[in-house]
Amino acid sequence: MKDILTEALIEMHFHSALIDYFTTRHGMRQLKLIKPSQYKEAWVGFDQAWVSTTISTSELYNNIRNAIGHNERKVNKLYIGYFLQFKCVDLLNRRSKYTPTTYQLPYYRSELDLNPNKHTGLSQHETLSILSNIENSSVYYACGMLFDILDIYSKPDMEKLRLISVKEAPSTILRNERHFITFQQPDLEPHWCSDPVEGKAYSFENWASGNLEDSPRLLKPGEVIAYLETMKYTLSNASKEGKAKLLEEEKKRRELLEQQRRQKHNINIKHINDDPYSYGLVSDSLPPLHIEYKQPQKEINPIPGSFNLIEFSVE
């Protein structure tokens, strides 16, 4: 029986290399990763997203979900978004009615999900198509050219991750039908089928080079200014609230430590033999500490309230 190679395994295989790329190009933590649960994925369509935003990923997820549900063209606080839906690709050695007539055997294909979700009423492809029309979003099917379960143990080769823009999908792809992305060879251009329409696919390496029209872009100057202004306002408010909270927490922590210290040692300060210049630190758990001091002589211009330590002993 053939081993099962799933979309989750494809995503896991390339994940570390994707982190390396996005943190190198955009800087550590400039892009946030959104990884929705299986249930939440139904509402937004993607497996993972790399986004530039000034709000939390949970807030942005809700904004994206609402925008898709209302077929809106803009998501608040989304400055850049790369959305990936990973796809398994099958190697086929037999013809079928879905095989492009110009293809030779063997060939490769990945089936699109066109069945409406019972909660959203939209198929995965429809959801991704709406998302692809939202401002500042780039949405791709990420086809992993892995065909053996043992491939997942090898070092990720980003030439084997082929990206196809969802925005280029023909409008003739309808729900409850069977349609595919097909490849004659893994490194050749794909076709949208069943009515073959040639598309474009890039290896991740090529796409990430920055030399293509569809390559990931950096923030424009105006977007950087808007981003920084929002961050400044957010951090300023967070700083004021956070500072007050931290001070209150530190005060409580110090009070608790002092209370615990006193309870632990039961320390008292007492005069020894009624001598006003002789003190003892008396504790249940510490050895007695005897301290004596004398007032400085007037001729050396003493500082009021100061003393010289003349004896320090632990009995």
Same domain, 272 and 157: no
Same domain, 94 and 198: yes
Residue 144 β-bridge partners: 88, 161
Q: Is the pTM of this model over 0.75?
A: no
* Domain C-terminal end among 181, 196, 219: 219
d(CA 237, CA 240): 5
Same domain, 42 and 134: yes
Q: What is the model's pLDDT at position 125?
A: 97
Same domain, 174 and 284: no
Residue range(s) defining the domain that contains residue 275? 268-314
Same domain, 47 and 189: yes
Same domain, 72 and 160: yes
Cis, bond preceding 106 (omega within 30 deg of 0): yes
Residue 258 forms part of a structural domain? no
Same domain, 215 and 274: no
What count of other Cβ atoms lies within 10 Å of the Cβ of residue 201?
A: 22
Residue 281 forms part of a structural domain? yes
Same domain, 214 and 280: no
Q: What is the model's pLDDT at position 202?
A: 76
Q: What is the model's pLDDT at position 226?
A: 57
Residue among 129, 100, 101, 99 at smallest CA distance from 114: 129
Residue 188 forms part of a structural domain? yes
Which residues are CB-contacts of 126 (< 8 A; sequence separation ≥ 6)? 114, 116, 175
Q: What is the model's pLDDT at position 207?
A: 76
Structural domain total, the chain: 2
What count of other Cβ atoms lies within 10 Å of the Cβ of residue 214?
A: 15
Residue among 179, 175, 170 at smallest CA distance from 109: 179
Residue 237 forms part of a structural domain? no
Q: What is the model's pLDDT at position 219?
A: 57
Residue 240 forms part of a structural domain? no
Same domain, 139 and 54: yes
Per-residue tokens: 154 = 């090898």
Same domain, 144 and 18: yes
Same domain, 96 and 194: yes
Tell me the chain's radius of gyration from C-alpha atoms.
34
What is each CA distance from 210 to 31, 49, 154, 215, 232, in whole angstroms? 17, 19, 26, 5, 29
Residue 129 forms part of a structural domain? yes
Per-residue pLDDT of the chain (315 residues; tens, 9 = 90+): 467 899 999 999 999 999 888 887 766 567 889 999 989 999 999 999 999 888 999 999 999 999 999 999 999 999 889 999 999 999 999 999 899 999 999 999 999 999 999 999 999 999 999 999 999 999 999 999 999 999 999 999 999 999 999 999 998 898 999 999 999 999 999 999 877 777 888 777 777 766 766 666 665 655 555 555 555 555 566 556 666 666 676 677 667 666 655 555 555 555 555 665 555 555 555 555 554 544 544 444 444 444 444 444 444
